[in-house]
Amino acid sequence: MSASRFDGTKVPVTGGASGIGRATVQRLVSEGALVFAVDLDVEGLASLEGVHTHVADVSSEEAVVTAVAAAVETLGGIDVLINVAGIHRTTPIETLSVDDLTRLFAVNTVGPAIFCREALRHLPDGTGVIVNVTSSSAAHGNPYMTAYSASKGALLAFSLALAAEVVHRGIRVVPVSPGTTATPLIEGIPADLDMSYYARIRSLMGPATPEQIAGVIAFAASPDAAYITGAEIRADGGSHV
């Protein structure tokens, strides 16, 4: 790894205030990137150092359009887009609501898709990159995650289709699918749910740290991955081997 692998690279990162997004922001900054962090968490953004920040709800089309325009104006362009922003809800099927589905798809699927649409107007042909953070749940059945899995599965499918659509421009699209990661996103699972299934698929390496996943994202976004597009990178510690 070069300490200047992203020297001068202009990178908006959604979900940059906490968890995997924050670790990704810090990793990119350490490698020389010019980062524009987008999040709803005002305090989390304020505590970041060495980055430009922008408060926005990624589920709002208007907010996304404004955020991308602000990133272009602030950074002087966009070289790489990294979509990390996402939410998680535990939804046993008997309590699954339309609100669960609507909110999860709005944040986890529609938001990243609109960010991609807007960023593609600015990404340079030949070197532009989009990294969308999906989930191992996108392609593997996990109890109580029907809505979450569906929203991340849709983002995975979107990413693969988009890669095929923009490959003629030399723009890469790489979905990165983390497994269980120690972030606030996985907190709050009701104690009365039967979690024995997850005990069977738990990685012997334990949950990932946000920094470990950020390393994978940085690789996918870097010239080191120049021949990777339209292929999911799964980082789950072997939990689904």
Q: What is the pLDDT of residue 77?
A: 98
Q: What is the pLDDT of residue 5?
A: 94
Q: By the 8 A CB rule, do 41 and 14 touch? A: no
Nearest Cα residue to 176 out of 112, 234, 129, 137: 234
112 vs 102: CA distance, rounded Å: 15
pTM for the predicted model, two decimal places: 0.92
Q: What is the pLDDT of residue 190?
A: 57
Provide the residue-wise pLDDT of the chain in tens; the chain has 241 residues: 556 899 999 999 999 999 999 999 999 999 999 999 999 999 999 999 999 999 999 999 999 999 999 999 999 999 999 999 999 988 899 999 999 999 999 999 999 999 999 999 999 999 999 999 999 988 988 888 899 999 999 999 999 999 999 999 999 999 999 988 777 655 555 556 666 666 666 766 777 899 999 999 999 999 999 999 999 999 988 887 7
Q: By the 8 A CB rule, do 16 and 38 touch? A: yes
| Amino acid in the structure at residue 179 | G
54 vs 74: CA distance, rounded Å: 10
Q: What is the pLDDT of residue 192?
A: 61
Q: What is the pLDDT of residue 184?
A: 64
Q: What is the pLDDT of residue 169?
A: 98
Instruction: Walk me through the domains of the chain, giving residue ranges and CATH numbers.
Output: 10-235 (3.40.50.720)
Q: What is the pLDDT of residue 186?
A: 55
Nearest Cα residue to 158 out of 216, 101, 112: 112
Query: Tokens 């968890």 correspond to what residue?
Result: 19
199 vs 211: CA distance, rounded Å: 23
Q: What is the pLDDT of residue 179?
A: 85
The set of catalytic residues is 148
Structure tokens at 30: 């350490």
Question: Could you give the dihedral angle defined by the CA atoms of residues 140, 176, 84 and 61, in that order, rounded to the nearest 10 degrees?
Answer: -80
Q: By the 8 A CB rule, do 132 and 185 touch? A: no
Q: What is the pLDDT of residue 200?
A: 64
Q: What is the pLDDT of residue 195?
A: 63
Structure tokens at 143: 């109890």
pLDDT for 88-108, tens place per residue? 988 899 999 999 999 999 999
